[in-house]
Amino acid sequence: MDNSFFVDSGALSPEALERKHRLETDPSSRISHLEYLPGMEIIQSDTCKNVMNHVGSYDYSSFTAKDVLRALEKDVCTVEDFKALLSPAAEPFIEKMAQRAREETSRHFGNSVYIFTPLYIANYCENYCVYCGFNCYNNIRRMKLSYEQIENEMKVISSSGMEEILILTGESRGKSGVEYIGEACKLARKYFRLVGLEIYPVNTDEYEYLHKCGADYVTVFQETYDVDKYETLHLYGHKRVWPYRFDSQERALMGGMRGVGFSALLGLSDFRKDALATGLHVYYLQRKYPHAEMSLSCPRLRPIINNDKITPLDVHEKQLCQILCAYRIFLPFAGITVSSRESARFRNGIVKIAATKVSAGVSTGIGDHESKYTGKKCSGTEGDEQFEINDSRSLNEMYGDIAAGGLQPVLNDYLYV
């Protein structure tokens, strides 16, 4: 991949501005979003075909109230029932969906709500995704933490009582290589019981290496399953290759990861079809890898630095609640995470219905946990945030609010022998 136009910091050069303009206005200047690049592993899997066949034929306007009520009466939710629950016809029945979802959550997860926090260790990126604050053409402060800085951040987070951490980077192999991420996993094992990764997709052998370094699970956002829309949103970089990203979770499981997470970024395209595809992605991989832990996230677009026009597109809290309830009914064993992109009020409510995991003490910036957790001014430069969060509660505040709602906050339930 040509990184000659990679933006580190400061204003864009004339060459970078020209390249950016070409990518935005001339589709022929972009690489194919369906063809693998050198070094990308191709696996033989029918999962993508199975998922996309359903999405391609999904006409959610064809479902009726009878279809929705029939789905809610069944003990086991089929694919067609799931489609009905995601349709506009289900909106008048969200209360009934919430009641059924609450029953499924209680049956399979009790009253437990798991808490974790993310740690961004670098915000360099080699992709041009027009909606993301880390994109390589966005003029932000870039930073990559040293191993000493990573460990200091982890000490600060661990001292708050947190036991699960999610390590994130921008998508740059050049700045955040697999070995760098692996060393971060080894450091995380010193302070946390559960370690997750949200990084650029890698090959099976690299997932195996990261698992040996201490990573338990991998989360990958497909962003949107709409292949044509994906092409217009991801103009440059390895992330542009849609099928390689789609198979990330399966490669992670083949590499020995214990669990994988799935998500579409709601608001980029038709949210009902993206929600259907996300649920079916989990559904088909559950059948191939029944031993694996699988989870879903349901994020909506949030504002980013230098782009105040990025807002959720026709996905409001009512629709978000519908999707989360449909996920729980269709995939009763899957974990569901609701991030700090959503308000405290919404998260306090949804954990009583469908969600099983929430983040707390969140920062999407680089190297700023010490200043945010302790109020201590840091001497080094801090990197800019990926997006603005909506719920800034600390671990103690989140723990207390969950308990006050009659639920059991859980920091870790794994025993290693």
The tens digit of pLDDT for each residue in 345-380 reads 999 999 999 999 999 998 877 887 777 676 665 555
Average pLDDT, the chain: 91
- Paired with 144 in beta bridges are 122
**pLDDT beyond 80 at 414:** no
For residues 108 and 316, the model is more confident at 108
Residue 262: the pLDDT is 98
User: In this structure, what DSSP letter does residue 90 have?
Assistant: G
- Contacts of residue 159, defined as CB under 8 A and 6 or more positions apart, other chains included, come to none
Q: Which CATH number fits domain 14-410: 3.40.640.10, 3.10.580.10, 3.20.20.70, 3.40.190.90?
A: 3.20.20.70
Residue 384: the pLDDT is 55
Residue 368: the pLDDT is 74
The tens digit of pLDDT for each residue in 60-74 reads 999 999 999 999 999
**Residue 122: strand, helix, or coil:** strand
**Mean pLDDT score, 245-260:** 98
**Mean pLDDT score, 327-351:** 96
**Residue 380: strand, helix, or coil:** coil
Q: Which of 180-189, 270-279, 370-379 has the lowest mean pLDDT?
A: 370-379
CA–CA distance from 271 to each of 265, 275, 280, 349 (Å)?
A: 8, 6, 14, 22
| Phi, psi (deg, nearest 5) at residue 234 | -115, 95
- Paired with 297 in beta bridges are 337
Q: Could you tell me the residue ranges of all domains in the chain? A: 14-410
Question: From CA 218, how far away is CA 175, in angstroms rounded?
Answer: 20
- Contacts of residue 115, defined as CB under 8 A and 6 or more positions apart, other chains included, come to 162, 164, 357, 358, 359, 360, 395, 398, 399, 402, 409, 410, 411
Residue 369: the pLDDT is 75
The tens digit of pLDDT for each residue in 71-100 reads 999 999 999 999 999 999 999 999 999 999
Relative to beta strand 128-129, strand 234-236 is antiparallel
Contact status, residue 340 vs residue 302, Cβ threshold 8 Å: no
Tokens of 267: 């608001």
Residue 415: the pLDDT is 72
Tokens of 190: 């010193």
Which candidate, 238, 8, 18, 283, places its Cα nearest to that of 122?
Answer: 8
Tell me the angle at which helices 317-330 and 79-86 cross, rounded to the nearest 10 degrees. Answer: 170
pTM for this prediction: 0.93
The tens digit of pLDDT for each residue in 132-173 reads 888 899 888 899 999 999 999 999 999 999 999 999 999 999
- In 79-233, where do the E strands start and end? 112-122, 128-129, 164-169, 194-198, 217-223
Which candidate, 117, 114, 188, 153, places its Cα nearest to that of 361?
Answer: 117
Residue written as tokens 């260790």?
Answer: 121
- Paired with 236 in beta bridges are 128
Question: From CA 101, how far away is CA 338, in angstroms rounded?
Answer: 15
